[in-house]
Amino acid sequence: MKVFLIAGEQSGDKLGAALMVGLKTLVPEVEFRGVAGPQMQAEGMGSLFDMSELSVMGIAEVLPKYRHLKRRIREVAEDALAWEPDVIVSIDSPDFCLRVAAIVKAARNIPTVHYVAPSVWAWREGRAAKMAKVIDHVLALLPFEPPLMQAAGMSCDFVGHPIVAEPQASFEEAEAFRTAQGIASDAPLILALPGSRRGEIERLGPVLGEALARSVADIPNARVVLPVANGKLPIVEQVVAHWPDTIAPILLETSAETIADKRAAFVAADVAIAASGTVSLELAAARTPMVIAYDMNWFSRMLIARMLKVDTVTLVNLVSERRDVPEFLGKDCQPEPIANAVVETWLAPDKQRAAMELAMKRLGEGTDPGLRAAQSVVDAVSRLKSNA
């Protein structure tokens, strides 16, 4: 079996590596080719070029590289057509991957699979219909996505979210983290998670600082730990320098080498203030109660508000079909209500436990998403070829 893979970001590289492991288990003679990151390459796949060339976001970043990216799209499509794989599996990065799939489909009916469904349940539902023109089958991370993809004309399997395969720190590791950081075992610990992008950190940082100052005033002996995305320490230090002296956060720069410390911090924490996104699932996996806070620039806020189709953006709330995790978005992202919610969550941490347990169960906790994805690919290829 020949599988052409395309990954364009770190998250896609991680999904691709797990998929490769699953495919090698099911089909030992499988061959791989395409665009890969370091984790996929560690599984034995070469890459046509450095995956980082595709890791660009936003109009300002894409425009200067438009011609180069367009050339890469053509190169990848032509390489796939020349190799004649049994299937092309594109992983996230839809702006690049779907253009490759379009060129391939126009030339030859090679089965196409896309890993990660577009979030049409939240906004821009037309994306699924556009995807269906060039994609045959979708691997979904969220359990409620398959019917939406099927309605657009693609087959789709829920294969589990990668968060369920992430290792969690033990109680002993969490206690060792507290000891190493000089945090008493009975001291309330608050995690501050303002996001990983510069804009998020600069926009949410001041709000979180004031909210934390109010929180620690009402939570005796509270300590604050702020995990910092790799390479973002200078930005975070600039923001934190303007926080009230009462907070004194411990900055925890995370990387591949220090990921164990981050996991231990998540388990050791009593409550977290986090930006919206998949971090809510990381916290749920660690069973850490949370308060979600997020804001964006005025124009984006108004645009998203008009297009948003759901009453919550927190994945724990969406997957559990409960609304136990408080969130403060847009104009509601203010220090006082956030701080009040932090204190209330700290006082009653069990209020969110059922939602977190249910969300993780529905996301496939206890299963292997990579193996499930591999089985879905194998089954889809068999079905598509038999129907051709």
In tens, the pLDDT along 54-78 reads 765 443 445 566 788 889 999 999 9
Q: Which residues of 77-88 are buried (b: 16+ CB within 10 A; e: fewer)?
A: bebbbeeebbbb
Which pLDDT belongs to residue 307?
Answer: 58
Which pLDDT belongs to residue 369?
Answer: 97
Which pLDDT belongs to residue 305?
Answer: 62
**Alpha carbon separation from 192 to 10, 202, 276, 282, 306 (Å, rounded):** 23, 14, 12, 13, 29
Which pLDDT belongs to residue 118?
Answer: 86
Mean pLDDT across the chain: 91
How large is the C-alpha radius of gyration of the chain?
Answer: 22
- Contact assessment for residue 56 and residue 65, using Cβ atoms and an 8 Å cutoff: yes
Which pLDDT belongs to residue 58?
Answer: 42
Which pLDDT belongs to residue 60?
Answer: 42
Which pLDDT belongs to residue 69?
Answer: 85
What average pLDDT does range 365-373 have in this prediction? 97
Which pLDDT belongs to residue 304?
Answer: 59
Between 355 and 200, the higher pLDDT residue: 355
pTM of the model: 0.88
Query: pLDDT of 113-172, one tens digit each?
Result: 999 998 776 556 778 899 999 999 999 999 999 999 999 999 999 999 999 999 999 999
Query: pLDDT of 239-271, one tens digit each?
Result: 999 999 999 999 998 877 789 999 999 999 999
Q: Indicate the range of 19-28, 221-230, 290-299, 377-386 predicted with least confidence.
A: 290-299
Query: pLDDT of 168-191, one tens digit each?
Result: 999 999 999 999 999 999 999 999
Which pLDDT belongs to residue 273?
Answer: 97
Which pLDDT belongs to residue 165?
Answer: 93
Which pLDDT belongs to residue 297?
Answer: 64
- Contact assessment for residue 312 and residue 318, using Cβ atoms and an 8 Å cutoff: yes
Picking from 51, 55, 98, the residue whose alpha carbon sits closest to that of residue 77 is 98
Name the band, by pLDDT with cuts 50, 70 and 90, for residue 233: very high
Per-residue tokens: 183: 């945090």
Round to whole Å and give the CA distance between 79 and 66: 20
Name the band, by pLDDT with cuts 50, 70 and 90, for residue 298: low
- Contact assessment for residue 68 and residue 37, using Cβ atoms and an 8 Å cutoff: no
